[in-house]
Amino acid sequence: MLPLVQSRPRIRPGQRITGMFTPNQDFFETTDSPQQNAGRYNPASGDYFMLCPACQADVPSDSVFCPKCGQKLDAPAPANAKESTGADKIKQAAASNRAADDAEVKLWTGSYSPKAMVGNWILAGLITVAAATAGALSAFNPMIVFIAAIVAAAIWIAMLFYVIVQRLSVDYELTTQRFVHRVGLLSRTTNRVEVIDIDDVQVQQGFVERMLGVGTIKILSSDVSDPMLQLKGIADVNRVATLIDNARRDERRKRGLYVEAV
């Protein structure tokens, strides 16, 4: 005949063990007494465990709080306390994922690139050579040389001034949620376009710009203040345009909106 194995009761907080027993005992008695929290004996570790009233987990008998759910063990379990189910864990994971998705991350910052004016630099160089040639052909007539020098210097100064103004007055920033466009040297205007409102991203490049990898990006959106935003002189223009388009698609996918093929 098989020996009768008696199950050991699971002891709740507020109960204590009565009587003497050893690890070889099959069972022990408990009593409802708030003076000592004790419970199930573990022969392997020599420790006593009790049952958490909130999550039903085994915790050491000398614990003040449950290490799993944080329930205070000398306090009664909350009326609505129940063990976490699979659906609850899925909801908690979804809430955690939504919080991570809502974090705004900076993807790119930039401004006007001087490489966008390489064609103008070449043109200014040709005009300077032509002015010098005209002065030489005129046997270095003082009046012709003076006019040629003034024209060449004015062109170079104007182009240098234009580059400086563009670099200091234009600023772009792309995040996972918004595209920020700041314009102005002394007074500044900031325009924010939600990437979810962007409908199309276009790239325009001339012959020289294609060789240098710069160009102009056109952003078409449903933004009321600036439905067509032009970003001139953008270095590595194709990569930046792809970043903007991917941010638009990712944000619409998160919000559950349909992304049209463009």
CATH of the domain at 251: 2.30.29.30
Based on the fold, state whether residues 63 and 126 are members of the same structural domain.
no
* pLDDT at position 125 over 90: no
Cα-based distances in Å from 108 to 118, 169, 241: 24, 18, 11
pLDDT reported for residue 128: 87
Out of 94, 123, 141, a domain closes at 94
Mean pLDDT of 187-204: 92
Higher pLDDT, 238 or 57: 238
Strand order in the sheet with 106-110: 106-110, 170-175, 178-183, 189-194
pLDDT reported for residue 143: 85
Write 250-259 long-range contacts (CB < 8 A, 24+): 250/176, 251/176, 251/177, 251/194, 251/195, 251/196, 252/196, 254/101, 255/196, 257/196
pLDDT reported for residue 247: 93
pLDDT reported for residue 186: 87
For the record, the structure tokens of 35 come out as: 């003076």
Domain count of the fold of the chain: 2
Out of 94, 118, 147, a domain closes at 94
Based on the fold, state whether residues 121 and 229 are members of the same structural domain.
yes
pLDDT reported for residue 98: 58
DSSP 72: B
pLDDT reported for residue 69: 81
Amino acid found at 109: T
Based on the fold, state whether residues 38 and 131 are members of the same structural domain.
no
pLDDT band at 256 (very low <50, low <70, confident <90, very high): confident
pLDDT reported for residue 67: 78
Based on the fold, state whether residues 185 and 237 are members of the same structural domain.
yes
Residue 99 forms part of a structural domain:
no
Report d(CA 104, CA 175) in Å as an integer.
6
Range of 39-53, 59-73, 113-127, 167-181 with top mean pLDDT: 167-181
C-alpha of 100 from chain center: 8
Higher pLDDT, 9 or 126: 126
pLDDT reported for residue 257: 54
Residue 133 forms part of a structural domain:
yes
Cα-based distances in Å from 133 to 139, 148, 175: 10, 9, 52
Higher pLDDT, 62 or 136: 136
**Gyration radius (Cα) of the chain, Å:** 38
pLDDT reported for residue 53: 78
* pLDDT at position 103 over 60: yes
What residue spans of the chain are helical by DSSP H? 86-101, 118-137, 142-169, 207-212, 237-255
Based on the fold, state whether residues 75 and 178 are members of the same structural domain.
no
Residue 122 forms part of a structural domain:
yes
- Taking each helix axis from N to C terminus, what angle separates 118-137 and 142-169, rounded to the nearest 10 degrees? 170
Cα dihedral 249, 253, 255, 260 in deg (nearest 10): 60
Mean pLDDT of 169-189: 92
Residue 83 forms part of a structural domain:
yes
Report d(CA 179, CA 231) in Å as an integer.
11
Mean pLDDT of 92-99: 57
Based on the fold, state whether residues 89 and 115 are members of the same structural domain.
no
The domain of 135 spans 106-255
Residue 7 forms part of a structural domain:
no
Out of 94, 129, 163, a domain closes at 94
For the record, the structure tokens of 243 come out as: 């970043």
What percentage of the chain reaches a pLDDT higher than 70? Answer: 68
Lowest model confidence (mean pLDDT) among 26-35, 84-93, 156-165: 26-35
Give the tens place of pLDDT for each residue, 198-255: 999 999 998 888 999 999 999 999 988 888 999 999 999 999 999 999 999 998 888 7
Residue 2 forms part of a structural domain:
no
pLDDT reported for residue 47: 64
Cα-based distances in Å from 210 to 119, 198, 219: 11, 25, 19
Residue 6 forms part of a structural domain:
no
Count CA atoms closer than 13 A to 261's CA, side-chain side: 0
Mean pLDDT rounded to a whole number for the chain: 76
The residues facing 48 across adjacent strands are 41
pLDDT reported for residue 27: 41
Based on the fold, state whether residues 151 and 229 are members of the same structural domain.
yes
